[in-house]
Amino acid sequence: MRTALATIVVLFAGAGLLWQATDEARAFTTEGARRLAVSESPRPVPSLVLQDHTGARFSFDRFAGKLLVLDFIYTGCADLCIVADNTLQTIRDSLPEARLGNDVVLLSISFDPLRDTVHQLAYYAKRHGARAEHWPVSRPSDADRLPALLSAFGVTVIPDRREGFQHNSAIYVVNREGFLVAIFDYDDPEAVLSFLERQ
């Protein structure tokens, strides 16, 4: 009898704990938890000065009133970033012309500002056909601000053994008021497009 009671208590407490710990069985990985947290409580993007591939400097405020679709990259990247930027390319090509640049702006931010010089960014932008007015390829102007930026977006970057990085790649949407509101898979332009359509 005691055993039955104790077992029931343990199982109920355990189930409750696991329910809580997985956001009601909706997120089992840090990545899943991050997306859920962002969609339920949008978070402000830190103010920060970026420098784009033409050398121009600007802050996030420049995008106020527009929807911002962004990803984090480094130009030496050979896999995820390329897929993520192909996704941005697809989004750009599928958006109505009236929206692109006026209502929706794309943005790539390098998390390797030391090696990604303006020259390097320009080369990368050219490869993806990114134009500064609707798709600046940029880096934080002040490398010291990078950790705060990455942590606000929940990006974990770790150097790999081949001079590159491993990072959780995704497509982020910042709303017109400057809040990060949604995170999408890096290879799913359709999901981003249908989200943008509803905004």
Partner 1 sequence: MMRLTTAGLLLLGTLAVPSTRAALEQSMPGHMLLQIPLLVLSGLWLASGLPSGVKRPFQRANSYGVTGLALIVVTALFWMLPRHLDAALDEPAYEAAKFLMLPLFVGLPLHLSWGRLTAIGRGLVWSNLVAMLWVLSWLYLAAPVRVCNNYLIDEQTLVGRLLLLLGFLIATVLAVRPFISSSPASEQSP
Closer residue to partner 1, CB minimum distance, 144 or 160: 160
Closer residue to partner 1, CB minimum distance, 14 or 44: 14
Closer residue to partner 1, CB minimum distance, 5 or 114: 5
* Residue 90 in contact with partner 1, rule: CB under 8 A: no
* Number of residues near partner 1 (by CB under 8 A): 26
Closer residue to partner 1, CB minimum distance, 6 or 56: 6
C-alpha–C-alpha distance, residues 7 and 14, integer Å = 10
Q: Which of 10, 49, 143, 148 binds partner 1 (CB under 8 A)?
A: 10
Question: Shortest gap between Cβ of 99 and partner 1 (angstroms)?
Answer: 30
Go through the chain and tell me how many residues it has.
199
Q: Which of 33, 48, 118, 191 binds partner 1 (CB under 8 A)?
A: 33
Tokens of 37: 């947290």
Q: How far is CA 130 from CA 56, 125, 155, 163, in A?
A: 15, 5, 23, 25
* Residue 22 in contact with partner 1, rule: CB under 8 A: yes
Q: Which of 24, 31, 84, 99 binds partner 1 (CB under 8 A)?
A: 31
- CB count within 10 Å of CB 163 equals 8
Strands 104-110 and 137-140, bridge-based pairing: parallel
Quick check: 158 and 177 in contact, CB under 8 A?
A: no
Give the residue carrying structure tokens 């020259």: 119
Element housing 59 (H / E) = strand 57-59
Tokens of 119: 């020259």
* Residue 86 in contact with partner 1, rule: CB under 8 A: no
Q: Which of 19, 24, 26, 32 binds partner 1 (CB under 8 A)?
A: 32
C-alpha–C-alpha distance, residues 133 and 154, integer Å = 27
Subset of 154-183 contacting partner 1 (CB under 8 A): 156, 158, 160, 166, 168
Quick check: 73 and 164 in contact, CB under 8 A?
A: no
Contact set with partner 1 (CB under 8 A): 2-3, 5-7, 10-11, 13-15, 17-18, 21-22, 27-33, 156, 158, 160, 166, 168
